[in-house]
A and B are shown apart, each in its own frame.
Chain A
Amino acid sequence: MFFQHLLNGLIIGGIYAMVALGYSMVYGVLQIVNWAHADVLMFGTFIGMLLATFLHVPVIAMVLLAALFTAILGMAVERVAYRPIKSANRRMAVLVSALGMSTFLQNLAQLVFGSGTRQFKVFDTNAYEIGGMKITGMQILILSVTAVMLLILYIMVYRTKLGIAMRACSVSIDNAKLMGINTNMIISGTFGVGAFMAGVAGILVGNYYNAVYPTMGYLLGMKAFAAAILGGIGSIPGAVFGGFIIGVIESLGAGYISSAYRDAFSFLVMILILIIRPAGLLGAKHIDKV
């Protein structure tokens, strides 16, 4: 039973990790929390559902198109809600703008798609038995897509010039400019990459629970944000690590203690860990700002 819970936790944890990366990478380059992230995810999921349900777009094309749409929406949010803000009290202004954008996207979704829950079921849901554990085709898919996405992200961030530029921006935007880096482009790209992964995660989670609705981003976003904080916000490995930890704790807590408190466990553990390590598990102890 333990391994079954662990497996279930890792699967949902992979989803949290993909969403957490968007929070963490954006925080890394801009030191702001993009509260609209989860709503961008919701929008992308709706697009995926519509593409699959009404236009009968093949699954792979549907995922790619919807994720691409999510990426563009994520970049648009940055352009509209964050980039123009240059006021002296920037952090507070950005916070208000982010919350406003989040509400706007949710309301727009209710207006356009309706406030009800839509079904979304395009993947194989057969269950298999492997070594005494039950795993569904959907779960296998989530695990493999998560693995591929994380691998691609890893290569992009740590093995390409663009990735070095992204990490340079997260140390100092001004010094990155002095290297000839078009920092606005990198910031835009960071939002795009984060939202793309969120779009994929949204489609997976929408199918996992067979439900898409305008406020679906709320709890998912909170948990992914908790994962980012837990791992040390701004840290890419931290977000991944945090996502898996939150997923596993939630699954074990629901399995052994009480499933009624499923959502509380992750936040409880986050609070406990932050008391011991305020910067998160893999967070920098202090950030050098030259």
Chain B
Amino acid sequence: MGKILEVKDLSVNYGVVPALRDISFHVDEGEVVALIGPNGAGKTTTMHTISKLIKPKSGEILYCGKSIVNEEPHNLVSMGISQVPEGRGIFQPLTVAENIEIGAYLRKDKEGIKRDKEWVYDLFPRLRERMKQISGTLSGGELQMLAMARALMARPKLLLLDEPSMGLAPVIVEDIFHIIKKINKDQHTTILLVEQNAQMALTASTRAYIIEVGQIIREGSSKELKSDDQIQKSYLGL
């Protein structure tokens, strides 16, 4: 299996303040890879740089072997990269159905879109019941489901998830991670998962990177990291 995403020596500044310093990592096709780190480590910056909302200072980002550092953000979506941003990024004044619709914005295959709507509503039945509802009135868990459903409507090859567990009750987090694994298994969607919840992230992923103050300080298989003393102390609260 080839590398679907490869980040090489990526540096990003906000003004003169560095947020990422020479980070390198990769995601193989079909994998679930976790990027774990505390507040302010640079996780969201990494995601935004991949999605081209932020321009890097230096470094390279390869998607399917091709450089994407000079792509427009909307082109990345048509190339197969979708992001569920931190805080979900739901268009709150729009209805649930309109948010789902906008996820398929670039697609022209009417039949396929119709089928995929059924599929995401089956995946998240609570959204089906709330189709006509203004999405700003959804609960936190429902918003996260909507954000994921919306991203899936673009039929991504690579799905970027930025802290899907943020602000959710443990039972809901379980549900969300169950679905993340299901999407990966059933649709063969490759997933890059950013989390502070290391427990969940290490359970759901095959490999993981640990990021602190803009640098990757550890990497390894999720199993190995989970049983590591240092990681257990700093991230798993054991």
Instruction: Give the B-binding residues of A (Cβ under 8 A).
Output: 161, 164-165, 167-168, 171-172, 174-175, 177-183, 284, 288, 290
Option from A164, A288, A290 in Cβ contact (under 8 Å) with B102? A164
Contact between B92 and A171, CB atoms less than 8 A apart: yes
- Contacts A179-B103, A181-B105, A290-B88 given; does A171 touch B93 at CB 8 Å: yes
Between-chain CB contacts (< 8 Å), 16 pairs: A161-B102, A164-B102, A164-B105, A171-B93, A172-B91, A174-B89, A175-B85, A175-B89, A177-B53, A178-B85, A180-B106, A182-B72, A182-B74, A284-B93, A290-B85, A290-B87
Measured CB to CB, the closest approach of chain A to B125, in angstroms, equals 23
A-B contact count (CB 8 A): 69
Contact between B105 and A178, CB atoms less than 8 A apart: no
In angstroms, Cα B190 to Cα A268, docked, is: 59
Contact between B89 and A290, CB atoms less than 8 A apart: yes
The 10 closest A-B pairs by CB, nearest first: A180-B77, A175-B89, A177-B73, A180-B106, A171-B91, A290-B87, A180-B74, A182-B74, A168-B91, A179-B105
In angstroms, Cα B185 to Cα A245, docked, is: 57
- Contacts A161-B105, A164-B101, A165-B105 given; does A178 touch B89 at CB 8 Å: yes
Q: Among B72, B76, B91, B103, which residue has the most Cβ atoms of chain A within 10 A?
A: B91
B103 cross-chain contacts in A, Cβ below 8 A? 179
Measured CB to CB, the closest approach of chain B to A119, in angstroms, equals 45
Contact between B154 and A180, CB atoms less than 8 A apart: yes
B142 cross-chain contacts in A, Cβ below 8 A? none
In angstroms, Cα B93 to Cα A179, docked, is: 16
* Residues of A contacting B: mostly: helix
Option from B74, B78, B89, B94 in Cβ contact (under 8 Å) with A164? B94
Contact between B91 and A175, CB atoms less than 8 A apart: yes
- B11 part of interface (Cβ distance < 8 Å): no
A168 cross-chain contacts in B, Cβ below 8 A? 91, 94, 102
In angstroms, Cα B78 to Cα A178, docked, is: 10
Measured CB to CB, the closest approach of chain B to A165, in angstroms, equals 6
Measured CB to CB, the closest approach of chain A to B144, in angstroms, equals 13
A181 cross-chain contacts in B, Cβ below 8 A? 74, 102, 105
B6 cross-chain contacts in A, Cβ below 8 A? none
In angstroms, Cα B91 to Cα A165, docked, is: 10
B87 cross-chain contacts in A, Cβ below 8 A? 290
Contact between B77 and A179, CB atoms less than 8 A apart: yes
- B46 part of interface (Cβ distance < 8 Å): no
Contact between B74 and A183, CB atoms less than 8 A apart: yes
In angstroms, Cα B89 to Cα A181, docked, is: 14
Contact between A165 and B51, CB atoms less than 8 A apart: no
Measured CB to CB, the closest approach of chain A to B32, in angstroms, equals 20
In angstroms, Cα B72 to Cα A174, docked, is: 12
In B85-122, the 8 Å CB interface with A consists of: 85, 87-94, 98, 101-103, 105-106
In angstroms, Cα B49 to Cα A174, docked, is: 12
- B45 part of interface (Cβ distance < 8 Å): no
A164 cross-chain contacts in B, Cβ below 8 A? 94, 98, 101-102, 105
In angstroms, Cα B119 to Cα A43, docked, is: 51
A177 cross-chain contacts in B, Cβ below 8 A? 51-53, 73-74
- Contacts A181-B74, A181-B105, A182-B72 given; does A172 touch B89 at CB 8 Å: yes
- B167 part of interface (Cβ distance < 8 Å): no
Contact between B83 and A178, CB atoms less than 8 A apart: yes
Option from A167, A174, A290 in Cβ contact (under 8 Å) with B93? A167
In angstroms, Cα B105 to Cα A174, docked, is: 15
By beta carbon, the residue of chain B nearest A185 is: B74
Measured CB to CB, the closest approach of chain A to B94, in angstroms, equals 6
Measured CB to CB, the closest approach of chain A to B202, in angstroms, equals 26
Measured CB to CB, the closest approach of chain A to B90, in angstroms, equals 8
A161 cross-chain contacts in B, Cβ below 8 A? 101-102, 105
In angstroms, Cα B103 to Cα A174, docked, is: 14
- B82 part of interface (Cβ distance < 8 Å): yes
B40 cross-chain contacts in A, Cβ below 8 A? none
Indicate with 1 or 0, residue by residue over B24-60, a CB within 8 angstroms of chain A CB atoms: 0000000000000000000000000001110000000
Contact between A180 and B94, CB atoms less than 8 A apart: no
Measured CB to CB, the closest approach of chain B to A154, in angstroms, equals 15
B72 cross-chain contacts in A, Cβ below 8 A? 182
- B18 part of interface (Cβ distance < 8 Å): no
- B136 part of interface (Cβ distance < 8 Å): yes
By beta carbon, the residue of chain A nearest B76 is: A180
Measured CB to CB, the closest approach of chain A to B98, in angstroms, equals 5
Q: Among B53, B89, B154, which residue has the most Cβ atoms of chain A within 10 A?
A: B89
Contact between B74 and A167, CB atoms less than 8 A apart: no
Option from A167, A178, A288 in Cβ contact (under 8 Å) with B73? A178
In angstroms, Cα B73 to Cα A178, docked, is: 7
Indicate with 1 or 0, residue by residue over B169-201, a CB within 8 angstroms of chain A CB atoms: 000000000000000000000000000000000
